[in-house]
Amino acid sequence: MSFYPASANIFMVAARKKTARNDLLNAVLGFGPFWRAVAGLEFPSPLPLFLLLSGGPDSVGLALALHDFAKLAADPPKNGLRELLPAALKRTEYEVARKYFSRPRSVSLALLHLNHSLRPSAEEEELWVKDFAKRRGIRCECETQNVAGYARLHHTSVEDAGRVIRYAMLQRKLEADQTALGFTAHTMDDNAESVLYALAQRAGIAGMLGIAPELHGHVLRPFLHLRKQTILAELKRRRQKYVTDETNLVPDRPRTFLRHKVVPKLLELNPKFLENTLATCKNLQGYDQLICWALDSVTKLAAAEDIQWRRRLLLPLLPPVGWHAFAPAGWGEEISGSLPVILFHLLHMFGATLNWSAAAKLADAVAGSYSYRAKAGRGVAVEHHPPSGLVFVVQHGEPTSYELRDASLALGPQKLEIEQLQGEMVRELLAALAKTERHVSFADVTGGFSDPVKPNVVYEAVFSADTPQPLKLRPARRGDRIQLPGGEGHAKLSDVFVNAKVPHSLRSHWPVLADANDEILWLPGLLRGGAARVPKRARNGLKLSWEIGQ
């Protein structure tokens, strides 16, 4: 590590007389998140700082500012601290800074540079960065990566690929030393470009929040309140050179187009455009916190509803499948205008990913009480089901088929049992099913949760003991038909699902029980077919029980 000796006071003479001119150092000293992070780390000595350095003016300026900070920490002023620290600091942050400068402290600064191998000048830039660090006695680590190859492999732009790799470099350092702080040199100009780009991409409020001043409390951006022209002026005053990326000068990419064509026009419209954008982002951050609180409340409501619906709608379904349900129509008219935003975020909690447009269509379906279905990720479907008023989120895979050669089949919390009945037991079960056969009902289920929840539910059916075996358990197929209970005629399974109001996204996993000849006998919870009927005076029979536990 590189340490700064207490005798390094060249900067101090100018600093004690007047620090206002050094806008770069002032940006660091007046950055509240920095002091909060230092306090949270309990004033480590030395304080490890890592800066992502491209060699451009912004990162070079921040390197100089952190270098000056390290010298200031090694030889803090004995008087005039209040004049040294910017007035932007809050009282608690000022007290942390005062405590930090109460005695000499060591700071370890390291520069991290990525050689992206994208331009012929990349090697020269790396050499320049190394020379810049060597002249100031700063530790420098360079890493060469094939950014273009990473972009192709992950189907992303080279800009995004470079960003991912750079942050990965920084993150490795922060994970290796839990007392370390990372820095990036994003400016007020970068923030405005980011907001404009998000606006063009319909990124939602998250994009309109701009660049965060800090990430997870350990990656800090103290230059967000500085204009690039301020940094350039300070570098010019110091006669400090920097690397110029020629690709940033050509407006042929979205961000460079915004930088060179759009932002200058907006500055002509209002010279305070950059400051106003930053202030708007800060205001929106307050609204974002309020929105997060509201979303958290709605999420808890939906999660509670989901548990209740799955306890009441104990559905016989073939694995692998999982489902969730909630009833947004009953949440009140006051949130109807915000329902697209709520659904967009809420569905992510249930493992579904809808874009903004699809979330708006789902919200319209809820408000208008009409059906809507959409894919929401691999193997995930979202459906609004008007008969129940529920929104279903269904995660499914390819359902499995089974041959039933044993007396029971366990399917997770479900169990299918086969039992031979004889004598009076056959007639008693037939009479009981005729009066109280249990069926799944998807209609009018939104009446509340006052009824007690039963620990389990059992669907039962009885068929002739002469039914061809082994029985088969499988999912429904296109064109499947079932003999009607009266024994006359057949019905398509698709019509059975429609009449029973089964959500479309659950139908492919509804169990179909067939005999050895593939004659469909039973749809548990929906319909007991007319095939293999049991005569009223039968002395034996075949009982099927589908039990679902909590």
Domain residue extents for the chain? 10-289, 305-396, 402-549
What's the token pair of residue 31? 């950055």
Residue 116: which of 223, 215, 245 has the closest Cα? 245
> Residue 166: pLDDT above 60?
yes
> Residue 246: pLDDT above 70?
no
> Residue 437: pLDDT above 90?
no
**Mean per-residue pLDDT over the chain, rounded:** 88
Rg (CA), the chain: 34
Give the number of other Cβ atoms within 10 Å of residue 234's Cβ.
Answer: 21
Q: Over the stretch 491-550, which tens digit does the pLDDT of each residue have?
A: 999 999 999 999 999 999 999 999 999 999 999 999 999 988 887 778 889 999 999 986
Q: What are phi and psi of 453, to 5 degrees?
A: -85, 130
DSSP SS3 for 538? coil
More confidently predicted of 445 and 459: 459
DSSP codes joined into one string, 51-98: EE--SSHHHHHHHHHHHHHHHHHHS--SS-HHHHS-TTS-HHHHHHHH
CA distance 158 to 326: 41
What is the helix (H) or strand (E) element at residue 142, kind and residue range?
Answer: strand 139-144
Residue 188: which of 233, 219, 227 has the closest Cα? 227
Question: What b/e string do you get for 283-322 counting C-beta neighbours within 10 Å, with b at 16 or more?
Answer: ebbeeeeebeeebeebbebbeebbeebeeebbbbbbeebb
> Residue 368: pLDDT above 50?
yes
Average pLDDT over residues 399-403: 92
Minimum mean pLDDT range among 172-181, 279-288, 351-360, 393-402:
279-288
Q: Decide: pTM greater than 0.75.
A: no
Name the pLDDT band for 448 (thresholds 50, 70, 90).
low
CA distance 143 to 444: 63
User: What pLDDT score was predicted for residue 482?
Assistant: 95
More confidently predicted of 192 and 311: 192
Average pLDDT over residues 38-42: 94
147-154 and 158-176 helices, crossing angle to 10°? 110
User: What pLDDT score was predicted for residue 167?
Assistant: 94
Average pLDDT over residues 416-435: 85
CA distance 23 to 27: 6
Give the amino acid at 122.
Answer: A
User: What pLDDT score was predicted for residue 18?
Assistant: 41
- Which CATH architecture describes the domain 10-289? 3-Layer(aba) Sandwich (3.40)
CA distance 436 to 158: 66
User: What pLDDT score was predicted for residue 117?
Assistant: 83
Task: List helix spans (H) across 87-146.
Answer: 91-100, 122-136
